[in-house]
């Protein structure tokens, strides 16, 4: 049994990751911004015989991250999944740019995962071979062949860089750090016309995480296990 912490676990890919790990017999710390409104996640926790617990966490809020770390002091975390994300808002073109939404995107998707890793490092070190997986996007790869999406793409490119540096810094501690593009997924973010279900994406990510090894720390994967070109 592994202990798994997932951010943004109240809907979309995060919720299905929580379900997948709980179904596999693992202990899931499911984090979300608004516990009272997390109906589907609360229902999952209620039916899980204690396998899933719900925790308040806003990854862009240092006090919230510190409070979660305090509440989990001494608990080893085998798998940390930085999943929380936003789309950066509707105005992120060259001619019309919402700079506040861009700042939020960076706070949530670039700095947030770093904050969470930093705060939970004692928990990761307490596990025997911890894994950190960050859900990024193909839009954050330099191989992405389109313009636009300035806020979202830069926030994901930023976290790719953060995680590559963390992979180097944490290798000597035996902690694997990796990135995954989850596919184009039918969630609130991906929309109904997307390619795959959140269940399929979560199942793929679950499998990718199971196969992570320290020798290949820092690798950027696709949800189906293929290596993603940087
Ligand atoms: N769907 C796709 O096609 C696709 C493609 C590439 C990458 N991704 C990435 O996959 C991840 C999951 O996306 P999704 O499709 O499942 O999106 P989603 O359904 O919109 O869910 C986003 C999740 O992130 C949470 N979140 C947002 N800001 C947060 C914050 N400050 N602190 C904590 N949680 C926060 C949301 O919580 P609230 O309910 O409180 O807002 C929600 O649980 C994201 O990182 C996204 O960028 C998705």
- Global pTM reads 0.99
Provide mean pLDDT across the span 158-185.
98
E strands along the chain, which residues?
A: 3-6, 27-32, 52-56, 79-82, 131-135, 176-181, 220-222
Q: Return the ligand 1 atom nearest residue 82 CA.
A: 45
Q: How confident is the model at residue 44 (pLDDT cuts 50, 70, 90)?
A: very high
Distance CA 216, CA 19 (A): 27
Task: Determine the pLDDT at residue 78.
Answer: 98
Which amino acids are annotated catalytic? 152
Task: Determine the pLDDT at residue 51.
Answer: 98
Q: Return the ligand 1 atom nearest residue 104 CA.
A: 31
Task: Determine the pLDDT at residue 76.
Answer: 98
Task: Determine the pLDDT at residue 6.
Answer: 99
Task: Determine the pLDDT at residue 217.
Answer: 98
Residue 110: which of 46, 59, 64 has the closest Cα? 59
Supply the CATH number for residue 131's domain. 3.40.50.720
Provide mean pLDDT across the span 93-98.
97
**What is the tens place of the pLDDT at every residue in 139-157?**
999 999 999 999 999 999 9
Q: Whose CA is nearest to atom 45 of ligand 1?
A: 85
Instruction: Flag whether 228 is in a domain.
Output: no
Q: How many domains would you assign to the chain?
A: 1
Measured between its terminal Cα atoms, the distance across the chain in Å is: 33
Could you tell me the residue range of the domain that residue 78 belongs to? 3-222
Mean pLDDT of the chain: 98
Provide mean pLDDT across the span 44-61.
98
Q: Whose CA is nearest to atom 10 of ligand 1?
A: 135
| pLDDT-above-70 percentage for the chain | 100
Neighbour count for residue 195 (Cβ, 10 Å): 11
Judge if the beta carbon of residue 140 lies within 6 A of ligand 1.
no
CA–centroid distance, 84 to ligand 1, in Å, is: 4
Q: Which residues are CB-contacts of 196 (< 8 A; sequence separation ≥ 6)?
A: 183, 184, 185, 186, 223
Q: Return the ligand 1 atom nearest residue 184 CA.
A: 3
Q: How confident is the model at residue 136 (pLDDT cuts 50, 70, 90)?
A: very high
**What is the tens place of the pLDDT at every residue in 26-42?**
999 999 999 999 999 99
| pLDDT-above-90 percentage for the chain | 100
Instruction: Flag whether 227 is in a domain.
Output: no
Task: Determine the pLDDT at residue 154.
Answer: 98
CB 9 within 8 A of CB 32: yes
Task: Determine the pLDDT at residue 130.
Answer: 98
Task: Determine the pLDDT at residue 100.
Answer: 98
Reported residue count of the chain is 230
CA–centroid distance, 172 to ligand 1, in Å, is: 31
CA–centroid distance, 109 to ligand 1, in Å, is: 9
């Amino acid at each position: 049994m592994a202990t798994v912490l997932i951010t943004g676990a109240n809907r979309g890919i995060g919720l299905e990751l929580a379900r997948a790990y709980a179904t596999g017999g693992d202990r899931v710390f499911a984090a979300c911004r608004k516990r009272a409104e997390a109906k589907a996640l609360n229902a999952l926790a209620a039916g899980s015989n204690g396998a899933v617990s719900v925790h308040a966490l806003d990854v862009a809020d240092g006090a919230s991250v510190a409070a979660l770390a305090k509440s989990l002091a001494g608990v080893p975390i085998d798998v940390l999944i930085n999943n929380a994300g936003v789309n950066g808002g509707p105005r992120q073109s060259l001619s019309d740019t919402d700079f506040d939404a861009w700042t939020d995107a960076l706070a949530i998707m670039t700095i947030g995962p770093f904050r969470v890793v930093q705060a939970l490092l004692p928990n990761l070190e307490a596990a025997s071979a911890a894994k950190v997986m960050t859900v990024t996007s193909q839009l954050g790869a330099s191989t992405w062949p389109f313009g636009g999406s300035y806020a979202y793409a830069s926030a994901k490119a930023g976290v790719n860089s953060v995680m590559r540096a963390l992979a180097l810094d944490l290798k000597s501690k035996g902690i694997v750090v990796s990135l995954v593009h989850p596919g184009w997924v039918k969630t609130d973010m991906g929309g109904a016309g997307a390619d795959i279900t959140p269940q399929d994406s979560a199942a793929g990510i679950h499998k990718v995480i199971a196969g992570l090894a320290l020798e290949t720390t820092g690798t950027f994967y696709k949800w189906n296990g293929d290596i993603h070109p940087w």
